[in-house]
Structure 1
Amino acid sequence: MAQRRSTPMGQPGDADLRLLRIYRKVVECGGFSAAEVELGISRAAISMAMNDLETRLGLRLCQRGRSGFSLTDEGAEVFEATLQLLASVEGFRTRVNGLHARLKGELNIGITDNLVTMPDMHITHALSALKERGPDVHINIRMIPPSDIELAVLDGRLHTGVIPDLKTLPGLNYLSLYEEASRLYCSDEHPLFAEETVDEAALSRHDAVVPAYAQTPEIKGVHEPLRAAASASDREGIAFLILSGRYLGYLPTHYAARWVRDGRMRALNPERWHYHTHYSAITRKGAPPNLVLECYLKQLAADLNTRWR
């Protein structure tokens, strides 16, 4: 028989909570036999658990034997306290899980310029889903060059970024997003606008604008036949110079589409003068857990999977 404790009980631990949950079920079922099915453990295991609990508490909780099962006065009080304690534990768990459900905080994201016109709007859809999931999330977008995005993600100033796949850094994770097609364009005011085909000899007679930002060796090779007479730090700058009617230049097809549709630009010999650029979402390896970022990346991956099926 368990003896009354002469000193107060210490802080309940996981083992105590397990014993109390067994005790609650035994009392609710009215005995060991009925609780055996509910708990999925043997009557011997239940009896051992009750003995351990009585020893831990230093109290006799119930009478069990041929005369049946009944609670002692102390057992009834412990049962009431058990219900309160387990309800508090469950309330704590529910409240913490609720914090996960109600996203709060910031998402700091860096994006390379002029991706908003991409037909596959993976970023836009993921941001929309994130905002629906967490109305209180504050989204901060910075439109900056790819190298600045990489540095900002690596040092923690940005949570994530979207950049062209120019090189792979060991400190970053990459999630493939887009394949962007680019073609060589001139405006409707350029002498080549009416030409059916354009070869290298024709290109060499006309000024062109080339990108001042980093490119892969393959893309640099595509620009070599051009007579570089101007440069631009982004695609918008290239578009300005093409629309002047004085320059040729490469633009992404999705970005040039508005001017092509209006008859203000055309692609020159697109079967020959074109290239592709791959874009990825990047995050820092080993970054601290961030529920907002995790939710955004999950939504981004879900949108990618939906559109690839």
Structure 2
Amino acid sequence: MAPGTAERIARLIAPLRVKPGSRVDLARDFDPRYKGPLKKKDSAELLAVGVTLLAEYQQRLAAQDTYGVLLCLQALDAGGKDGTIRHVMSGVNPQGVKVSSFKVPSAEELGHDYLWRYAARLPARGDIAIFNRSHYEEVLVVRVHAEVLDRQRLPGDVRTADIWERRYREINAWERYLTDNGFRVVKVFLNLSKEEQRTRFMKRIDLPERNWKFSAADVRERRHWDEYQIAFSEMLSATSTKWAPWYVVPADRKWFARICTAAVLAHTLTGIDPQYPTVSDKARKDLLTARRELEAEAPKGAAADPYAARHRSAGG
């Protein structure tokens, strides 16, 4: 990593971090069109730098095999979650990344506690897991739509007026448990304006090749815009913690949202600073023995160590 890169990343995302204990008013505190000092003409180069950095640190994370990373992505419809995942993770090894999308829960999932299906898809050590929508649906869509809560079949004595405050506490405690066990949790809310959502919906209707992405249910859900803004504001206020912070990423400009999401994930990985395992003295002796054996097998006229020969040639 180039000198100063970590500091520049930290400065870029600092205005997006929800300070733990702060009271968030989404409309007042975060502008969906904010882009800081960046310019669109530089976006491709900046994203490429971020993708390269993520690839390097993901390889280290997998080799060290000690920490895991969970990235939670939340947004309203047309917020850009799929495109963000596709662009930000374009350079990483797919074996080390698992993306889970959470749709309407199945009958089996409804038969368990509300965090059960999310716990089943957590990352292993050395891996990155991305939740495309996450356990925060349980204090968002479930809050806005009472009929969804009905399907969870909660006992009457726990379905009380303080249910959302309880769920905030339970989620915070669950995320603390994960971080205490070596799994870093980082959360990104892609903050889309109502007008930009309308524009993206119209594009999906107008372009035949995008019709498949549109559902009439999206417009029905849009009618609950104000309720969702309240639910998001309260969620951000209650669940941005020191161990699992929220970042509110402006999403009206897709290029900026992708750069910022890459920066948030890179900041998390550089904070872990995973290292390649060191080789013991015995293992190093075994390597030298294997090297001599392989060098002895070189055909006549071939370099004893083709890899080293190619790199010496390239360097010269």
Q: Same fold by TM-score, threshold 0.5 exceeded?
A: no
> Relative CO higher for 1 or 2, CA cutoff 8 Å, sep ≥ 6?
2
Larger radius of gyration: 1
TM bin, normalised by shorter chain, reads under 0.3
TM-score when scaled to structure 1? Answer: 0.22
